[in-house]
Homo-oligomer: A and B are copies of this chain.
Amino acid sequence: MSDKTALVEEIAPSDIDSEPERIVNDLAIQVATVNGSGSQSSNLVLLRALFRMGIPVGGKNLFPSNIAGLPTWFTIRANRDGWVARKRNVDYLVALNPQTAIRDVESLSPGSAVVYEEGLRLERRRDDLVFYPAPFQELAAEVTREVRLRKLLANMIYVGLLGELLSIDVEEIFGAIESQFRSKKAAVELNRRAVEIGIRHARENLVKRDPFTLERMDKNRGKVLIDGNAAAALGAMFGGASVATWYPITPSSSVVEQLTGFLKRYRNGPDGKATYAVVQAEDELAAVGMALAAGWAGARAMTATSGPGISLMSEFVGLGYYAEIPLVIWNIQRVGPSTGLPTRTAQGDILSTYTLSHGDTKHVCLLPASTRECFEFGWKAFDLAERLQTPVFVLSDLDLGMNIWATEPFEYPDRPMDRGKVLAREDLERLGGTFQRYADVDGDAIPYRTLPGTEHPGAAYFTRGSGHDESAEYTESEEAYVRIMTRLDRKFETAREMVPPPVVDQAEPASPLGIIGFGSSDPAIEEARNRLREDAAIEMDYLRPRALPLCPSVLDFITSHQRVVVLDQNRDGQMLQLLRAEYGDRIPPGVLRSLRHYSGHPMDAQTIVDYVTEMEIGAA
């Protein structure tokens, strides 16, 4: 495509009617197919090729809650400045699904490009788009005669086509294919062929008429391209996970599935046998019961689940809180209530997880915002759980957990494992029989424990979810109950000091405007801040809580701003409610503003920009 270089390189504001400028490394490609059609490999190849070209990228899969035959959309956002949150508008559509093609095309902004199966005749639908038709099935037939394969390979053809249209480095595509199909030589060959046919078709039949193009950069040096669940699994392995129990549920399944893969490879003992146990339990009640007891008996125990599973774990989690048992629970949030939209993302379980179970309970919750933090919290959660002797939740979500993110490489844990206050036989001998399971010896409200099997006559104690005193004896004494419950409350204050503090990015002096958001909202918030700064000269300070209980600095942040937007990916403003419940009337009236996004789609910057812009107009 020789006319490509003729396009101006500079990006300048242009009015709608003028010839489009060249837009380099800033676009969102969306591939619309049906699930089960095998397009996932092609999308990953595309994503990886861009990644290896050094361009910041992210990939998001919007898939249905079924196995095959329903619409699915994979979106790749490439952005030279690193903004890879969801973008509402798509620039490049690959329309392969007849069921949705018309609607997909209708939703495009003027000037977008459409690559499509020519039989769909989409060019008739709009006259303000750039259309690139191709006979995918026909082209695939050139690669192979085998019908099933042909269908799969049609997907790889669009990779070639896009490669040509967007100037993707062919060698990176081929390299990505090799990574994707690894050992399978034949597959690599076939897929390369398909890409080549795509390229050839584009060269011979299509004229580039859109402004989008890609160029090599160097923004991914050292980075990895990974989903949050893989990062979580990896973090868990390096955290020394030894018992992982689970029950399959989207979008959390891939935490333990990928953990199993890692453990199988890297965690065999000297006898060649497993230094871990992964158990697919019969349900979530059993999964959490096993993990809890494993934590009790001294394993680094974890489970992972989503919405309905969290509800089912409720009773056991209360036991964990009251009997003070370490355990890590990953909640990869999806859209509720009930079954809800199991393949859509939300931050809808914050409130119910924080106080999960009946009675006075509250739980340490970590709120990772990136795959890096998934890795980091993956191992730190065990340290916290064992140090604090309590269930620790990590609240990720489908967007973070199942979508693919480019990230700085993970850092190997910077400190040895913290196994918490465990008394071994020697300790007991030294103490000479003064061990009391639930006594606050150190003033931090964290008691000492012993593990079953400890060879000392004073080691044993009795664990129960019913009333107990410092010696772990059964009691219905009101004094003992109040003492233990008050200590647990103090222990939560200890936790407050121990959990990862919020990340604050604040102008000097503080702007009147702030935003509080957490988890997977982070990239959209950062992009929105940048846009507001650049487009509207609005400076928005940012606090991102990384854990519950909240740190006192959150209140400081709120009180030092005039308006603080609280961004929740849920209907009920759950973080807002938590802030209010926590800080109550210490929050000056009118400061907190609630922005709630609960469509099930990942957070995008535009929603924030719009909200803030309108708010600031109101405030002005």
Contacts and interface: CB of A to CB of B under 8 A. Distances in A.
Interface string A452-481: 000000000000111100000000101101
Interface string A566-609: 00001110101110110011111111100000111100000000
Contact of A335 (B346, B362, B481): B481
B341 A310 contact: no
Interface string A312-326: 101100110111000
A190 to B, nearest CB: 33
Interface stretch (A165-173, A259-267, A351-359, A402-410): A351-359
Contact of A352 (B337, B348, B355): B355
A343 interface: yes
A580 B576 CA distance: 11
Contact of A584 (B65, B319, B587, B599): B587
A311 interface: yes
A349 to B, nearest CB: 5
Contacts of A308: 315, 318, 358
Contact of A466 (B339, B362, B590, B591): B339
B358 A466 contact: no
A482 B489 CA distance: 38
Given A481-B341, A592-B584, A357 B466 contact: no
A553 B208 CA distance: 65
Interface string A284-321: 00000000000000000000000110111011001101
Nearest to A63: B476
Interface string A422-451: 000000000000000000000000000000
Interface centre among A343, A584, A585 (most CB of B within 10 A): A584
A315 B357 CA distance: 12
Contact of A465 (B338, B349, B466, B479): B338
Nearest to A284: B315
A342 interface: yes
Interface string A350-376: 011101111111100000000000000
Contact of A588 (B340, B478, B585, B598): B585
A417 interface: no
A337 B355 contact: no
A299 B340 CA distance: 26
Interface in A392-417: none
A359 B338 contact: yes
Given A359-B337, A592-B584, A344 B572 contact: no
Contact of A338 (B318, B489, B576, B588): B318
A463 to B, nearest CB: 11
B362 A338 contact: no
A538 interface: no
A478 B321 contact: no
Given A315-B311, A344-B476, A466 B65 contact: yes
Contact of A585 (B311, B476, B481, B589): B589
A73 to B, nearest CB: 11
A467 B348 contact: no
A589 B592 contact: no
A336 interface: yes
A500 interface: no
A68 to B, nearest CB: 15
A432 to B, nearest CB: 31
A65 B599 contact: no
A64 interface: yes
A364 B445 CA distance: 37
Nearest to A489: B571
A464 B348 CA distance: 19
A44 interface: no
Interface centre among A321, A337, A349 (most CB of B within 10 A): A337
A485 interface: yes
A318 B598 CA distance: 17
A319 B591 CA distance: 35
Contact of A342 (B64, B346, B361, B466): B466
Contacts of A361: 336-337, 352
B572 A362 contact: yes
Contacts of A485: 571, 598
B335 A318 contact: no
Given A338-B323, A351-B355, A355-B351, A478 B601 contact: yes
A466 to B, nearest CB: 4
Contacts of A323: 338
Contacts of A466: 65, 338-342
Interface string A188-218: 0000000000000000000000000000000
A599 B486 CA distance: 11
Nearest to A570: B360
Contacts of A574: 360
Contact of A600 (B337, B358, B478, B486): B478
Contacts of A570: 359-360
Contacts of A598: 360, 481-482, 485
22 contacts: A65-B466, A312-B314, A314-B314, A318-B337, A321-B338, A322-B338, A336-B360, A338-B357, A338-B465, A339-B465, A339-B466, A340-B359, A341-B466, A352-B358, A352-B361, A478-B600, A478-B601, A580-B581, A580-B584, A585-B589, A585-B591, A588-B589
- Closest CB pairs A-B (n = 7): A336-B359, A338-B465, A337-B359, A311-B314, A478-B599, A311-B315, A307-B358
Given A64-B476, A307-B359, A580-B580, 11 more contacts: A307-B358, A310-B358, A311-B315, A318-B338, A319-B339, A335-B467, A341-B467, A351-B355, A352-B358, A360-B571, A478-B601
